[in-house]
């Protein structure tokens, strides 16, 4: 397939920069490992942005190139696959498979939306339910797949009110994407951020710390976004009529019962899920790693006597390409840090230590919010941005934890185009069901993008310092 003029120009610039970096000599002030790391990093970023080559294939190729040339050791590359955050995600997907198989999602939906009597109540009850799913199902695409039958049931119940159906179609992916920041397992990008922080600063973001910082932001941003969706896709007349969703209407789209007493598998699964989440949230009290807790939960969920899903079936739901992508990009982050390439890159950023924390964080938030227009993969955005943000934050006297978390949270906005995120694409193409158009997305994004960026910046400067993560590095306890 021939390259477009834009791709040709970009490729020429990238190759020219790579040649300049690869030339021997001290004109760059970089050693050989740092220069080669930058070449690999630039080529990988260009490939992610401008080509259709699989993201995981590119990341593995980059990790292999860095290992084969001795920039990082083979032990470093393969150790990333055994990182406990990778195991946390694997086991969380097995747990999610157990929850999905029991049909608890349909029962919860029937209980939640059945209490709605107005359109605004339906909107915010649905939003609250979607936020909670961040604790049960890892990754936004998994949550979207779990929520789709619930949306279809609501769409059928509201078939005579097309604008409300379109509103709900846009509400589901919007809230799923923004609420992912509530938990460490909400997106693979979160685990990349945690890995980069650990490798570059020695700071370990625990499940509880992430929860404390992310959950308030997820709740506030999700409900404000819900109001925006409601106001931009409906008219006053659409919002004034009463709403009544019955259990029978939800049952039509669920193979498991959504009313009546819990079945034994449902009761066991609910108890197991509640126990796992409770242990995750109480990690400072018992000291057991969230990955170990998740592994125990996965073993119980797949056990012949107590489980609700077979281990093979549960492992089939694990997104192995995502895990390989995470491992390879974490290796790239280690190479950027240890070779000095990241420090050299951020040395070109004007201001340095004289940059006020609020201005530095504002720049990080704006760039991260807009990054989805170039890098559609959320994990790829974190892989490119977070190592540079962390290095730049330390040189500017900004708390790298606050900067990395702000970048990752802002990168959760990816609503501009149907192709910007998998949940947006999933709900944009539903044969036989009214849904949103690209114009609806653009209208929402024009308001939601600045709102999301402003909220993240507000939390970074005013809320997170109260929770133990100040913006300025020198004031960190």
Over residues 232-273, the pLDDT tens digits come to: 998 888 778 788 777 776 777 666 666 677 888 888 888 988
The whole-angstrom separation of Cα 34 and Cα 71 is 8
* Number of neighbouring beta carbons within 10 Å of residue 431: 5
Rg (CA), the chain: 23
The whole-angstrom separation of Cα 112 and Cα 190 is 28
* Chain Cα centroid distance, residue 331: 19
Burial class of residue 432, CB neighbours in 10 A (0-12, 13-18, 19+)? exposed
Burial class of residue 238, CB neighbours in 10 A (0-12, 13-18, 19+)? middle
Q: Can you give the residue ranges of every domain in the chain?
A: 1-71, 72-475
Backbone angles phi, psi at 398, to 5 degrees: -100, 145
Q: Which of 267, 257, 264 has the alpha carbon at shortest distance from 106?
A: 257
pLDDT tens profile 25-56: 544 566 778 888 888 888 888 888 777 888 88
The whole-angstrom separation of Cα 213 and Cα 469 is 9
Once rounded to an integer, what is the mean pLDDT over residues 440-460?
A: 93
Contact (CB, 8 A) for 212 and 467: yes
pLDDT tens profile 121-133: 889 999 998 999 8
pLDDT tens profile 96-153: 888 878 877 777 777 777 777 888 888 999 999 899 988 888 888 888 888 888 888 8
End-to-end CA distance of the chain: 55
The whole-angstrom separation of Cα 400 and Cα 395 is 10
Least confident of 62-71, 292-301, 331-340, 393-402: 331-340
């Amino acid at each position: 397939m021939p390259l477009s003029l834009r791709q040709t120009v970009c490729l020429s610039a990238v190759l020219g920069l790579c040649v300049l970096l690869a030339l021997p000599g001290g004109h760059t002030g970089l050693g050989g490992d740092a220069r080669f790391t930058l070449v690999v990093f630039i080529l990988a970023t260009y490939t992610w942005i401008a080509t259709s080559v699989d993201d995981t294939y590119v990341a593995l190729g980059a990790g292999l190139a860095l290992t084969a040339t001795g920039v990082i050791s083979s032990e470093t590359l393969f150790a990333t696959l055994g990182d406990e955050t990778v195991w946390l995600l694997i086991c969380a997907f097995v747990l999610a498979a157990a929850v999905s198989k029991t049909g608890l999602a349909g029962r919860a939906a029937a209980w939640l939306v059945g209490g709605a009597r107005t359109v605004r109540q339906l909107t915010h009850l649905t939003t609250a339910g979607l936020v909670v799913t961040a604790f049960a199902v890892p990754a936004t695409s998994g949550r979207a797949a779990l929520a789709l039958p619930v949306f279809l049931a609501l769409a059928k119940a509201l078939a005579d009110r097309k604008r409300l159906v379109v509103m709900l179609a846009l509400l589901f992916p919007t809230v799923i994407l923004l609420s992912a920041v509530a938990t460490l397992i909400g997106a693979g990008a979160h685990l990349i951020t945690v890995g980069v922080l650990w490798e570059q600063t020695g700071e370990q973001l625990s499940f509880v710390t992430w929860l404390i910082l992310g959950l308030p932001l997820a709740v506030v941003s999700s409900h404000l976004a819900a109001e925006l969706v409601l106001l931009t896709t409906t008219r006053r007349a659409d919002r004034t009529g009463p709403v009544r969703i019955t259990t029978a209407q939800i049952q039509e789209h669920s193979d498991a019962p959504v009313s009546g007493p819990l079945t034994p598998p449902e009761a066991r699964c609910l108890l197991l899920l509640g126990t796992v989440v409770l242990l995750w949230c109480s990690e400072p009290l018992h000291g057991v790693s969230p990955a170990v807790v998740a592994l125990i939960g996965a073993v119980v969920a797949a056990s012949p006597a107590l489980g609700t899903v077979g281990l093979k079936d549960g492992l089939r739901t694990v997104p192995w390409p995502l895990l390989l992508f995470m491992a390879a990009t974490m290796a790239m982050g280690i190479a950027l840090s240890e070779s000095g390439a990241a420090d050299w890159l951020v040395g070109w950023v004007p201001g340095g230590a004289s940059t006020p924390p609020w201005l530095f964080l504002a720049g990080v938030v704006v760039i991260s919010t807009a990054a989805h227009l170039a890098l559609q993969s959320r994990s790829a955005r974190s892989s490119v941005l977070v190592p540079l943000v962390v290095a730049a934050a330390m040189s500017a006297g900004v708390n790298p934890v606050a900067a990395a978390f702000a970048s990752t949270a802002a990168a959760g906005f990816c609503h501009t185009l149907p192709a910007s995120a998998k949940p947006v694409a999933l709900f944009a193409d539903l044969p036989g069901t009214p849904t949103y158009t690209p114009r609806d997305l653009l209208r929402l994004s024009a308001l939601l993008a600045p709102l999301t960026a402003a909220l993240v910046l507000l939390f970074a400067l005013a809320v997170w310092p109260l929770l133990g993560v100040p913006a300025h590095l020198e004031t960190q306890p």
